[in-house]
Structures are given as C-alpha cells and as structure tokens.
Amino acid sequence: MNNLLILGAGGMGHMIQETALQIGYESVAFLDDAKKGKDIIGKCCDYENFLQSYDTAVAAFGDNNMRLCWTERLMEAGYQVPAIVHPSAVVSPSAVIGRGSFVMHRAVVNTNTVIEHGVLVSSGAVIDHDSYIASGVNIGLGSIVKANCTIATGVRVEAGDVIFSTRRKIDGVDNRNLEDAIYAFGFGPKCSYVKPFGAGHINETYAVYMPGEEGDELAYVLQRVNSNVFKDPAGVMENIFGVTEYLRGVIRAEGGDPDRETLSYIKTKDGCNYFEDAEGEPWRCYNFIADSMCYQLVEDPEQFYQSGNSFGHFLKQLGNYPASRLIETIPDFHNTVKRYHAFEVARKRDLKNRAAFCKEEIAFVQKREKDCAVLVRQQEDGTLPLRVTHNDTKLNNILFDSETKKGLCIIDLDTIMPGLAANDFGDSIRFGAATAEEDEKDLSKMHFDIGLYELFARGYLEETKDVLTEAEIQSLPWGARVITLECGIRFLTDYLQGDTYFKTDYPEHNLVRARTQFKLVEEMEQQFEKMQEIVIQYGGCK
C-alpha cells in the first residue's frame, strides 16, 4: 500500500502532500476538523477508522503541541508514521530523523544530528553537526542551529534565528575556566566527566573521560600551564609541537607506533596550539596513552635501567633536530652559576625572615660555589655542545608499557630546550638513584644508590655512546652532582623567597626538599671516583 493519510489540511498539510507525491506516494488524503474538499475524507477523530485503507499517516500541524500529540496518537494506533524529507533537502547519511518529522525544501541536516519524532524543519533551515532536536520542535524558516546544540521538547525556533552551541553539565567541572577549556578543545558535547590527574608540582592537570565501547574511558589529558613558571606559553607549545611532530616521523622510520611512543598534542577547535582562558592562563591538551604506567620511585632496578635507555633513546632520536630551532622558554634554566647568584640575592633579602632557620643549608651551598660553574664553563668554552634536551628527566616523566614493563614514551615536555646531555643525565640520577622521595623528612632514609646509578648509566650509554662525544660522556658524573646541587639550591631559594615557584603542602616543605638533595650531593661526592669509572666503562672511553 502506497497511500498516505495526512491529519491537517492547512498550508502545512498541503506542503507535505506535494512532497509526498514527489517522493513516490501514489495517493494522499486528509483528515481535518474545519476544512472541506474532495480529498478531505473525515475529521481527525476518525483516524482509527481508516487504518485498513491507509496504513501510513502523519500529523501536519504548525502548532508544536498538536503535531506532537497527534503523531504519538497515530503511532499508538498502529500506523506507520514515516519521516517526510523533501527531495531538495540535504540530510547527512549519519543523521537520524524521527517518525512523523518533516524536513522541508532546501533544509540542511548535518552529520550525526538526531531529530526526534514530530519535528518540523522548515524550508531553508540549517541544523549543523552533532545537534540534538527533541520531539515536537519547530525549526523556523531560514534559521540556523549551530553545531552541538540541544533543543528541548516543544521549542519553537523563530524564522532567521541563530541558536548557538549548548553547554551541558559535566561532572567534575567546578569552574568556568576548566569548562571553557573543555569546550575549546571540542570535548564538551560528549565528555563524560573530568577529574584531577597526576602529581606534578607546577601545572593543574585533569583527566578527561569520554564514552567508549565498554563504558567511560580516559581519553585526554588537559593541563592549565603555570604562567608564573612558563612565561612564554606560545614558545613552550611551539617547541612541543615541533619536537613531537618530528618524533612521529623518526618513530615510524624505526618501525614503532607514533601514537604510543610520543605524546600527540591536540590543537583547539580554532587551530591554535593552546587555549587562553578568561584570566589569561594557557591550557593545552594531549591524548592519553592507554595500557601505560609511570613510577614515582624505583620499585625494581630494571625500571631504572629502562629509564636510562628511554632517555638515552630520546636524545638519540632528536640527534638531527636542530637545537637552534628551539625557543629558550626559561632562559638560563640550568645555568647553575646564575642559580647560585639568585640564591645569594634571596639569602640577603630574606623576605620571609627564614634564613635563621636554615643556616646549615646556606653554608652547604656557599661551600660549593665553585662546583656550580663546572658544566657552565665547559659549555661556554665549547667543550660541551648544546643538544635538544628534556631538562626534567625524572623517572615519573616516562610512561612504561603496562604489559612489557619497558620504557614507552617520554612525557612532560614543557622544558624541551637547548641544553647539555649532562643536565638530563644528572636530573635522572638525582631523582631515580635516591632511596627516598625528594620531600622525605627523615634524612636517614635518603641515600645515593651507586648500584642504581650504574644501571641507569648502562642503559643511557647503550643508546648514546655513539652519539655523545668523549667529553660529554666524562661530564655525566658531574651532571649528577651539579644538577642535584642546583635542584637543592632552587628549593632553598624558593623557601627563602616564600614558596613562589614550587607547590608546597606546609611552610617547611621546600626546606625539607633542599635537605634531601644536599644529602645526595654529599654521598655523590664520597663516591665520585666510582661514578667516573662507571661512565668510562660503559661509554667506551679511553
């Protein structure tokens, strides 16, 4: 049977009649309470009596409530209630058009849009992608519903109106800046929930969960970058995008998986490297790498060997990336001489009257002023070349494969800059070859583990011994000493200045951190000859 029964013989009913005949219906009849004519065969209340003659019916009323009410009555009565789409309309194959809805002349319904039953999309209207139009809505002539909109049941969008994207409540979003960032990167319409993520000292980090095949899945990592620390966010992100996009090509050439072996940063919907919120703070986003894990401390010596291998491989992969292309986003980041001078300024100013509580630590630093210059002088005289360096090579900045337990991906690339191999090597040692966390209050638990140092050096030099010069290899033990000293100086300086850089949980937190670093420096000094012998052995030096 190819006959259509239309409830409502007004102007809208006759537009539906014309469309129905164009798309293949052979005959059309009306039910109407007020009008008369040869093709009007009864009143609307007679609809159940025509089921045998017309098994297909629609309700064509301009009033939203009437159209929706009668559409649902027809469905309940057992009629087939089709959607009627004019041949000139453009409807995406992925769009869903509900029963008894009408898409009129030259209307456009874009990708992944859902239109429920009893909806009228008038001539010339445009509904952009990923929108949701509830039942009984009227989208007026020439109106525009922008992407990711939700139109509630029974709403009338007037002719020519523009409806902007609708924001929805997302669990875990408790401030407007976070919400704006989620929408800036395009996650708002589908995001399931958001929660704090990671244990970094500097940036605010959030896990973004999206619907997956087996429930909600952690899909993205969203970070608000600390602009007090990174004063050139554009430069930071330019470095990151440049290096990670370069690494993808290197990893492919090695036969690896670039989606797992380097971070994939995401641009905003506007095509920018980062989003700036209402307070001027930058946000950036990258894909979460599933089936991976990171360690805050060495739990198994093999992990530290893998750490050395991973950071060594990272330096090797970037061996042909010109360091001159990188922006020095934190000038003199590892200029330990200038770090010492900043410490002396903080000591003399003593803004928070704290110097009296750390006299021993101050004396420790002053006794080692000359050590601060060892690597800086070799860089300045050309003995040590600048390379592309990570500059924050802690164990917890490596993702390990959850199954193989091998190093998978280097993360936290904020400090990618030109630097010395010794700096990266040293930062790994001062963090990973320690037997306690860097804020351990009980110094009897904090020691420098020469065995872990050897494991890291072996893994690192297996990857880099053919890349590094002999002078660079011999500088590595000094890297461990100087960077550990430098980190302690930075903690102590921040303590004297009132904790303006590192996040702290209590007033003495930075002082406690400084003390752990100085304990490591002392023990490195005691074992320095052995440290030198190890790098010569694994680096193949004469």
Q: Is residue 186 a contact partner of residue 198, using CB atoms and an 8 Å limit?
A: no
To the nearest 10 degrees (0 to 180), the angle between helices 528-539 and 509-526 is: 70
Query: CA-CA distance, 152 to 134, in Å (whole number)?
Result: 5
Task: Give me the sheet containing 407-410, strands edge to edge.
Answer: 292-293, 398-401, 407-410
172 in a known ligand binding site: no
Q: How far is residue 445 from each of residues 434, 437, 442, 449, measured CA to CA in Å?
A: 9, 9, 6, 12
Q: Which residue has the tokens 């209207």?
A: 125
- Residue 29's contacts (CB-CB under 8 Å, 6 or more residues apart) are 3, 4, 5, 6, 39, 40, 41, 50, 54
* Backbone torsion region of residue 540, taken as left when φ is above 0, otherwise alpha when ψ lies between -120 and 50, otherwise beta: left
Matching residue, tokens 């087939």: 80
- Listed in sequence order, the residues at least 6 apart from 84 whose beta carbon sits closer than 8 Å to its beta carbon are 16, 19, 20, 23, 58, 101, 102, 103
User: What distances in angstroms separate CA 510 from CA 153, 410, 491, 497, 502, one per listed residue?
Assistant: 57, 26, 5, 10, 8
Contact 20, 28 (CB under 8 A): yes
Task: Please say whether the beta carbons of 185 and 167 come within 8 A.
Answer: no
Residue type, position 134, single letter: A
* Alpha-carbon dihedral angle through residues 157, 161, 164, 166, given to the nearest 10 degrees: -10
From the number of C-beta atoms within 10 Å of its C-beta (0-12, 13-18, 19+), residue 480 rates as buried
Q: Give the DSSP letter of residue 10.
A: S
**CA-wise closest residue to 93 among 80, 104, 109, 79:** 109
Taking the C-alpha atoms of residue 510 and residue 201, their distance in angstroms, rounded to an integer, is 11
Q: Is 412 annotated as a binding residue?
A: no
Beta bridge mates, 121: 103, 139
Query: Under a CB-based contact definition with an 8 Å cutoff, are residues 265 and 273 in contact?
Result: yes
Which among 14, 86, 105, 129 is annotated as catalytic?
Answer: 129
Annotated binding-site residue? 62: yes
Q: What is the largest CA-CA distance in the chain?
A: 108
Helix 470-497 and helix 450-464, axial crossing angle in degrees, nearest 10: 130
Q: Residue 207 is inside which H or E element, if any?
A: strand 204-212
Say whether 534 sits in a helix, a strand or coil.
helix
Among the listed residues 435, 430, 431, 424, the one whose alpha carbon sits nearest the alpha carbon of residue 461: 424
**Within a 13 Å sphere around the CA of 98, how many CA atoms are in the beta-carbon half?**
19
Residue 105 is among the residues annotated as catalytic for this protein: no
Show binding-site residues for substrate. Answer: 32-33, 62
Catalytic residues: 129
Show binding-site residues. Answer: 32-33, 62
